[in-house]
A and B are shown apart, each in its own frame.
Chain A
Amino acid sequence: MSIAYYATPKTVAEALGALAELDGRGMIIAGGTDLVPLIKQNRVDAKALIDISGVVEIRGLAFEPEALTIGAAATHHQVCSEPRIREIWPALADACASIGSPQIRNIATLTGNVVNAQPAADAAIALVALGARMEFMAAGELKTELIEKLYAGLGRSKIDPRKEMVTAIKVPRPGGRHGNAYGRISPRNSFCMPIVNAAAALDCEGDRIVSARLAMGPVAETPFRPQRAEAELQNVELRNTRALEAAAVLASQEANPRSSCLRGCADYRKELSRVLVKRVLEKAAAMAGRESIQT
């Protein structure tokens, strides 16, 4: 199946109009770095592409009182090179900075990273830990949903790019004492799929963790939140490395990675996720332990 039509709308309205007119035969494309290889392999069943990278309204970053709004067409490069994001959401900056190569990051979007629905998608992992939401137009309405709830299964997003259009990602602004961090372990230092990756976001009061959100990949079909480990972290003192380690152990026990002859055996990935979650927790705790950020 080859693409017969390529639309380049300049506004959200135009994009939605094209989607509607094509009535399921068209598909949203953002950066295309995941989609183009699939199209070349004839694994995409669409006759038309609607490219949203030119839609001005959704290209930028907006720093609002409650949240960071990342336009649906914003690239990994935009996010990881923005100093304010690095300051407040280092997990997201680090995650985006680790994806692919500079060439990929200049074109690929966080939206695509989520909608492509791979369990170890780095930006998605960070976004899930940060409690980010996705805003999207579906059936004429603007909807919003937590990103972690937008997965239908391995490689399947609940967002249907034939009918629905993502407009933004909203990352809540942390209040008070907070730390977040991201980490990954890969065979070579760059331009590489991770063996495991993880992100943590810790909301604190004083020196104690009040709520912890962890996201791990690829240890399940989707980005995975180890809820027992998160519960275990409640009330833990930031400097209590033994407790952080114990939570990491729990997280790895909850994790259920597959064995991959290319990426690593299940046992090793489980152990690695323990090490990585511990490191990520320590980094997040260190950030929270510093002066609270001017948010």
Chain B
Amino acid sequence: MSMSQIPTRKKIEFILNGRPTRIDIEPDELLIDVLRDRLLLTGTKKGCGEGECGACTILLNGKPVNSCLLPAMKVAGQAVLTIEGLAPDEALDPIQESFLEAGAVQCGFCSPGAILAAKALLDEQKNPDEAAIKSALSGNICRCTGYVQIIEAVKLAAEKMNAQPPASKPS
């Protein structure tokens, strides 16, 4: 196969924030750039571009990954959740609410990534202890809060989510 025959740009289909999405991408495009520059979903933040800060965290099939290190081609056929997909319009997911109430948001730059990492944890464990919370958030660097109120936020979110009747839980 000569290089000139190989198709470069490719159309991929994936589920983005619950909706089927199709987009043409270049073979070397990273998911973070597709989200932020192409799809104008700027809630996912670029803190370092080298997978060392977690500000770019999104959920891939429910698991937190660094979108700055993810070739966009990898999400073909997969499900991606960004911060914009957590709650529609003016609504707040219990985790978002808890971050606000617990004082876990200062500059807010790490918050989308941290909230999604917390969501992945709470979707898997209903009552994580402090060690599990810390482990789940250990890939999200925050320079403002010193983390104490972030841990409290996740605990508060667990309480809220456990108190909710199943029918009203956000999908």
Contacts and interface: CB of A to CB of B under 8 A. Distances in A.
Interface of A: 2-6, 8, 21-22, 25, 29, 32-33, 36-37, 39-40, 47-49, 51, 53, 77, 100-104, 106-107, 190-191
Contacts of A104: 51, 66, 69, 139
A6 to B, nearest CB: 4
B69 A102 contact: no
Given A47-B3, A103-B139, A53 B74 contact: yes
Interface in B57-109: 57, 60, 63-66, 69-71, 73-74, 76
B27 A4 contact: yes
B11 to A, nearest CB: 13
B51 A6 contact: no
Contact of B28 (A2, A25, A51): A2
Interface string B102-127: 00000000000000010010000000
A49 B65 contact: no
A191 B141 CA distance: 10
B30 to A, nearest CB: 7
B71 A49 contact: yes
B50 interface: yes
Given A32-B71, A47-B3, A190-B138, A103 B57 contact: yes
A101 B139 contact: yes
A205 B14 CA distance: 54
Contact of B65 (A40, A106, A190): A106
Contacts of B54: 101, 103
B135 A102 contact: yes
